[in-house]
Amino acid sequence: MAEDTVQCKPENEKKVKLSKSWPTYLFEFVSLTLAVFMGFFAENLREEMAERKQAIELAQNLYDELVTDSIAVDQTIRGRQRMNGALLALKDYVRDSSLSKVSKAFIKNFFSGIHYSNRFQPTDVVLEQLKASGSLSYFKSKELQRLIHNLGGAISQVRQRNQIELEFGYTYIIPFNVNHIDQEYLPKITDLRRMPINELLDLIERDSVGTPFEITNLNQFKRKDVINMLLVYRNLVENGASACNYYREANNKLLAELRKEYQIKPGKNK
């Protein structure tokens, strides 16, 4: 009987130990699961915060580039309005006036409408870097993604219009200038200086010396052909202005969305 009692005692002790271990196992399991979950949560939070910080920096860089271009495109649109009026006035002068001795109005309209091209060259350095590096994925907003896509389309349209104008210039305007425009006039009144168009027009207006401006090879000057050239060029100028307006709209909408999404405050020059 004593031996039986001794043999049963370890079994009872084992049962007691097992019944006390289950809560411990359960606690450890829950603790481990919670720790893993919190680790994943903290890591995801850290990554989201890092991505958000990166997105804000990228948004600021893109914003700064867009602000600079928004100023440039506004200047181009105003310049094209001036070009449009000058080309119409030049067309009327060629049709109705004497070409043997041209007026200051002809000279001013020629330089404002033809000599000084006014093309907007979009800057997309930051945008292309974002595309090439895949960093556009940091911008989570679907509306932001859509507006960036629209801006890319507007840039392409502006560049296509610029290329058409350049080709027209090489084909028609440069030969016209070589054949019929006095190439010595501008160096004489400017002393070979490059100056903004407004300064040049003012200089032409107050030219006290009366520097003569000559249309050369008048016997080869065909009024109707020149008028056609001016009208076609004016259409190209208007189309280019439309592309600039489309870009300006896309630019302004993207700037507004960047301000909204990343709380970017407008700079002094916007």
Largest Cα–Cα separation, the chain: 144
Taking CA atoms, 181 is separated from 80, 164, 168, 176, 212, in Å, by 22, 23, 18, 7, 12
Rounded CA-CA distance 37/45 in Å is 12
Q: How many CB atoms lie within 10 A of CB 158?
A: 22
Average pLDDT over residues 89-107: 92
- pLDDT tens sequence across 18-35: 445 666 666 666 666 666
The rounded distance, in Å, linking the Cα atoms of 78 and 167 is: 23
* CA–CA dist 115, 120 (Å, integer): 16
| Packing angle of the helix pair 2-96, 223-262 (nearest 10 deg) | 150
Report pLDDT digits (tens) over 185-244. 888 888 867 788 888 888 887 765 577 888 999 999 999 999 999 999 999 999 999 999
pTM for the model stands at 0.78
